Structure 1
């Protein structure tokens, strides 16, 4: 029986509202390596967004390469570029640490034809079985933009083009297919219609989806892009998002993070086993009074805590009171609950324009910003508003050149 370990969306370099997550990344990556050592897979795949930024820091590069090298020492490891990753960085990493050095570590920087890194073949079970993997990094809609188009790439254009690209990979994947020996896998960084998103996925464009029925039929499809671990529904074969190993924001505080272990035999249904990850500091939401927070304070030790306090007045003293109650929590945006009375009415004529500086000053106060800092911010805001009073924006050089060209068009003479 062949075994696959599927992980995804590490987002190394991610910062939680100004707080470093390096400690948490180190812990959860060590846990992933430990699971790989215990389960002894024949192949390890990472389905994209290795980094949170297209220009990762040297520290994050070291963290990624140290972990991937440890994984590659256990089994061949293939990583595809996600939408957050830089294809150029991936090309470099493949050059300095990839198969040319015999380390069993493969980076797929961009969509490649089968003969040039689009399809991989690995022996499994001592050579008795063979794993064949088609790898599809993130494909940007601009790839399918037509010069004749005035509106860019449409949803239909994207879906049709993706079907064509996947068909090319699958044709190569099935070439020489041995039903008694081969296990076929597909890995892609893609947004599949119907997947449950998380608030942290701000870069996912829902207008460019892949319908689940367009996914190629394989033994298992390893997907990346969505941070919440979940299966793709409505398919006759298993396809799954491994999800991010750490919660990326407080909307994922209750998610059960995991990697996925897949056991497969040729010609038989696979067994999909999510393995829960428990490392890294927990994210917690709290809504209640200060007294209720005090009663439950112990459970928030060592967590990133986002508290919303009922019945409290805004101000800097509120954050201080919360910190005294939960001194061992890392506070993120502590704030009073905002409650609107059911019979609240407007105290100004709706047709009148509201006083924006006063509204902005009230907002800053509700966020707990102190008076001196609030006033300097309001002053800068008023200056910006005054600059916008001039409704005739200055022209730019490119605009002037274009206007001149349109006014003095060139016509061909016979």
Structure 2
């Protein structure tokens, strides 16, 4: 049996205020083509199909088109809900879906697999929707479900109990932080990484393969426990991480191998650093003119209207950050203390510049100009 493991589509998510729906449509279209090309039998989507609990109508359209395309390509499809999805909204249409498309959102069905057979016998797919402890605790009052870790442990106990009775090969699908994972700062939201919310790998003992979601970068925690990551880049901190999915092969004994399949990147992400003038004119940045750009300009002082000026060269500049170089270190003084310590008008102006420039006071040419202005003012006041 051949299984494609994908996750974290985040349909409807924006990228620094820019819509991503069209880009995602193209990438998911490429994923459907890969399913057909590689004769995939089962596609597993491990949570966070939507980016919010109330997605726009166009998001449902993209999901429906993609699920239909995967089914038409000959695959059985299993989708679970993540922490971004509304289980009710994701699951409401499951009864209307064609045969071979399964949406798993009900915690009470944990331990009841979707079974797909091949020439070597059955493979049992155990979908575990995202389990918010506060919302599922009442379902398992004897389970001490006070954390994400305990919720997944409890769910996997159901899986192992059912598997012990059924026998055969198996796949578990979950959406969580697993021990040893490398998270992406500022991207994977809303599941804390405290010690009670990280799930030990031993919790996933039993199934032949564990398809995880929530982390946006490809990661292999063991031969049989993996994250596929998101199909699009949703932040500049993800820019160096490949996009794709795991092509997992089962033989008669269970897990045999996993191969990474790259997905196309509609627009690369780059972070540029230099003075604003360098960013606007230097030929070494020419390759970035068609990319998503995070521009970090290093001028000592904030520049006028940097985003508008950068957009003239980089039409897809998404964010601009002022990161001055050569700034004097923080002397620990507040603005009011600097003002009180000033012994002259020149020092008072320098105190103001140090405050607005985060520690960098007047330069030597500026000191000369300030002195000239103060001297002229003194002459005017003396003759008034």
TM-score (norm 2): 0.79
Contact 1:113 1:169 in 2 (8 A): no
Unaligned runs of 5+ in 1: 364-414
Query: Structure 1 residues 324 and 137 mapped into 2: Cα distance closer, same or farther (>3 Å)?
Result: same
**Whole-Å separation in 2 of the counterparts to 1:348 and 1:133:** 61
**Equivalent residue in structure 1 for 2:251, among 261, 265, 276:** 265
Query: Structure 1 residues 45 and 52 mapped into 2: Cα distance closer, same or farther (>3 Å)?
Result: same
**Whole-Å separation in 2 of the counterparts to 1:45 and 1:318:** 44
Residue 41 of structure 2 corresponds to which residue in structure 1? Answer: 42
My pick for the range that moved more, 166-175 or 59-68, is: 166-175
**Equivalent residue in structure 1 for 2:124, among 121, 132, 147:** 132
**Whole-Å separation in 1 of the counterparts to 2:227 and 2:40:** 18
Shift of the alpha carbon at 1:302? Answer: 2.6
Shift of the alpha carbon at 1:108? Answer: 0.6
Deviation track 1:24-83 (CA, whole Å, cap 9, x = no partner) reads 111111111111111111111100000001111100110011001111222110000101
Deviation track 1:89-139 (CA, whole Å, cap 9, x = no partner) reads 122120221xxx43x111011223367xx3111122xx4432211110100
The reply on whether 1:110 has 2:116 as its aligned counterpart is no
Query: Structure 1 residues 106 and 154 mapped into 2: Cα distance closer, same or farther (>3 Å)?
Result: closer
Residue 311 of structure 1 corresponds to which residue in structure 2? Answer: 299
Residue 55 of structure 1 corresponds to which residue in structure 2? Answer: 54
The reply on whether 1:86 has 2:92 as its aligned counterpart is no
Q: Please state whether the residue corresponding to 1:334 is helix, strand or coil.
A: strand
Rg (Cα) greater in structure: 2
Query: Structure 1 residues 296 and 23 mapped into 2: Cα distance closer, same or farther (>3 Å)?
Result: farther
Query: Structure 1 residues 351 and 161 mapped into 2: Cα distance closer, same or farther (>3 Å)?
Result: farther
Residue 285 of structure 2 corresponds to which residue in structure 1? Answer: 297
Q: Please state whether the residue corresponding to 1:164 is helix, strand or coil.
A: helix
Contact 1:191 1:209 in 2 (8 A): yes
Contact 2:8 2:49 in 1 (8 A): yes
**Whole-Å separation in 2 of the counterparts to 1:144 and 1:81:** 14
**Runs of 4 or more off by more than 6 Å in structure 1?**
349-354
Unaligned runs of 5+ in 2: 341-351, 358-384
**Whole-Å separation in 2 of the counterparts to 1:334 and 1:161:** 41
Query: Structure 1 residues 269 and 353 mapped into 2: Cα distance closer, same or farther (>3 Å)?
Result: farther
**Whole-Å separation in 1 of the counterparts to 2:114 and 2:272:** 47
Q: Please state whether the residue corresponding to 2:93 is helix, strand or coil.
A: helix
The reply on whether 1:120 has 2:119 as its aligned counterpart is no
Shift of the alpha carbon at 1:264? Answer: 1.1
**Whole-Å separation in 1 of the counterparts to 2:166 and 2:75:** 24
Whichever structure has more strand as a proportion of its residues is: 2
Query: Structure 1 residues 251 and 345 mapped into 2: Cα distance closer, same or farther (>3 Å)?
Result: same
**Whole-Å separation in 1 of the counterparts to 2:339 and 2:90:** 52
Residue 197 of structure 1 corresponds to which residue in structure 2? Answer: 183
Shift of the alpha carbon at 1:340? Answer: 6.0
**Whole-Å separation in 1 of the counterparts to 2:41 and 2:220:** 22
Shift of the alpha carbon at 1:141? Answer: 1.7
Query: Structure 1 residues 343 and 22 mapped into 2: Cα distance closer, same or farther (>3 Å)?
Result: closer
Residue 226 of structure 1 corresponds to which residue in structure 2? Answer: 215
Matches within 5 A, 1:16-35: 16-35=15-34
Contact 1:297 1:325 in 2 (8 A): no
Query: Structure 1 residues 353 and 41 mapped into 2: Cα distance closer, same or farther (>3 Å)?
Result: farther
Shift of the alpha carbon at 1:20? Answer: 1.0
**Whole-Å separation in 1 of the counterparts to 2:132 and 2:337:** 44
**Whole-Å separation in 2 of the counterparts to 1:190 and 1:34:** 28
Deviation track 1:206-230 (CA, whole Å, cap 9, x = no partner) reads 1312111111322210001111110
Q: Please state whether the residue corresponding to 1:162 is helix, strand or coil.
A: helix
